[in-house]
Structure 1
Amino acid sequence: MTDRFVYDAAVRWSDMDAYGHVNNARFLTLYEEARVAMFFLGARAQGLTSFEDGIVISRHEIDYLRPVDYGEDVRIELWISELRAASFTVAYELFDDGVLASRARSVCVPFNLAEQFPRRLTAAERDFLKPYQES
């Protein structure tokens, strides 16, 4: 079974739309918080800091399965659904009170921010991602 990175995200009052549900665009913010936790905090805990030098997103896709209301934190589970030489795809599931509320995917590209060009994944980065890779 694939390891999943798990992140609990707070739903803020500012995330709400006029109907009292999390606004569709704010789901991207919640997914971003989880992704940043994985690639900054999770990777740093394993001695890897190169993701902090730059990752850009080349694609997002989201499926909204049910509304999420203001209240309890939501749980986001992340894993790697595709691993390529110069990109990888992060898959997510967002659970509200234990019920699956949304699925998403982000295609991430390692990027040299200082010189403004995409780069290949390093061996250390691939090693970090492999336990999370979908089999």
Structure 2
Amino acid sequence: MPHLDIRLPMRWSDTDGYGHVNNAAMLTLLEEARIRAFWGAPDEQVALGAEVLPSALPTFDGGSSVHTVVASHRVEYGRELPFRRDDVIVRLWLSRIGGASLTIDYLVLTGEDPDGAAPYATARTVIVLVDEATGRPTRIPAELRGSLARFTGEPLRFRD
């Protein structure tokens, strides 16, 4: 299945009094992975060494008249994720490309389980593309839809 593995450092502030990643911090990890995967760095930051991923889409850069907003999140926790000094791996892919929306599925993993047999969390985010001027949803252009198709995979199954 096509996917992107985004490696993220864990911050001490991501953990709570119980010593594991707080539920709100988990959403921040997912956000960081989503931004790194799909939003390209500005040219001046690339010139200074910013990472350029092949998944970065020009429509999501700062100069675009199209913006994205989060429509929903769903997170299911498989087990506690304690503080780690090695990177967390957020595996993500698009499970649905709608008319004006994208559904991003995630597995939160570590190097001990790179195949995702026992993810720390499974999650889904639905984002909607909106026109900056009107704030209304805007259809995903055909050329962008084609670029996105290479990152599509099977949707996750969640507990009922």
TM-score by length of 2: 0.76
Measured after TM superposition, the shift of residue 113 of structure 1 is 2.7
Q: Which moved more, 1:121-130 or 1:62-71?
A: 121-130
Answer with 1 or 2: which has the greater Rg. Answer: 2
Contact 2:37 2:56 in 1 (8 A): no
Q: In the alignment, is residue 40 of structure 1 matched against residue 39 of structure 2?
A: yes
Q: Measure, in 1, the Cα distance between the counterparts of 2:56 and 2:73.
A: 28
Q: What one-letter code is carried by the residue in structure 2 that aligns with 1:25?
A: A
TM-score by length of 1: 0.89
**Number of residue pairs the alignment of both structures matches:** 134
Hey, which of these two has a bigger chunk of helix by percent? 1
Measured after TM superposition, the shift of residue 123 of structure 1 is 1.7
Q: Which moved more, 1:100-109 or 1:123-132?
A: 123-132
1:82-116 deviation per Cα after TM superposition (whole angstroms, max 9, x unaligned): 11111110000000332511000001101223432
Q: Measure, in 2, the Cα distance between the counterparts of 1:44 and 1:9.
A: 14
Structure 1 unaligned segments of length 5 or more: list them.
Answer: none
- Within 5 Å, give how 1:16-35 maps onto structure 2: 16-35=15-34
1:85 to 99, 122, 131: 99
2:69 to 56, 65, 87: 56
- Within 5 Å, give how 1:105-124 maps onto structure 2: 105-124=124-143
Q: Which moved more, 1:86-95 or 1:44-53?
A: 44-53
Q: Measure, in 1, the Cα distance between the counterparts of 2:29 and 2:55.
A: 23
Counting aligned pairs with the same residue, the percent is 34
Q: Measure, in 2, the Cα distance between the counterparts of 1:87 and 1:14.
A: 32
Hey, which of these two has a bigger chunk of strand by percent? 1
Structure 2 unaligned segments of length 5 or more: list them.
Answer: 41-50, 155-160
RMSD between superposed Cα atoms in Å: 2.0
